[in-house]
Amino acid sequence: MFDFLRRNKKEELSSNPLVIAEAANVPKAMDIPEHVFIENDKEISLKNEESRKADNTIELLFDFLDKNHEGKGYEDALTNPDVRHLDQNIEALKNQLDRTIRRVKTFYEDFIKEIDFHIDSRSRSGMVDVVDELKMKKSIAESHVLKVLEIETEHHNNTGDSQGMIITYTRGFMNGLSAISHHTILKRF
DSSP state at residue 26 = S
Lowest mean pLDDT among 10-24, 43-57, 128-142: 10-24
More confident site: 1 or 185: 185
CA distance 97 to 15: 70
CA distance 130 to 117: 13
Report pLDDT for 45.
53
Lowest mean pLDDT among 18-32, 79-93, 165-179: 18-32
83 burial type by CB count under 10 A (0-12 exposed, 13-18 middle, 19+ buried): exposed
Report pLDDT for 147.
96
Q: Is 103 part of any domain?
A: yes
Q: Is 16 part of any domain?
A: no
User: Helical H runs in 26-82?
Assistant: 41-55, 58-66, 70-79
CA distance 164 to 70: 10
Per-residue confidence band for 167, with pLDDT thresholds at 50, 70 and 90: very high
Question: Average pLDDT over the chain, rounded to whole?
Answer: 81
| Model confidence pLDDT, tens digit, residues 117-153 | 999 999 999 999 999 999 999 999 999 999 999 999 9
**100 is in which domain, residue-wise?**
57-188
Q: Which residues contact 165 (CB under 8 A, 6 or more apart)?
A: 64, 65, 67, 69, 93, 97
**CA 189 distance to own-chain centroid:** 47
Asked if the model's pLDDT at residue 40 lies above 70, the reply is: no
Q: Is 19 part of any domain?
A: no
Report pLDDT for 161.
86
Q: Is 48 part of any domain?
A: no
Q: Is 172 part of any domain?
A: yes
Task: Find the mean pLDDT for residues 153-182.
Answer: 91
Lowest mean pLDDT among 4-8, 70-74, 172-176, 184-188: 4-8
Q: Is 154 part of any domain?
A: yes
Q: Is 36 part of any domain?
A: no
Q: Which residues contact 147 (CB under 8 A, 6 or more apart)?
A: 58
Number of domain units in the chain: 1
Q: Is 137 part of any domain?
A: yes
CA distance 65 to 150: 13
Helix (H) or strand (E) holding 113: helix 83-124
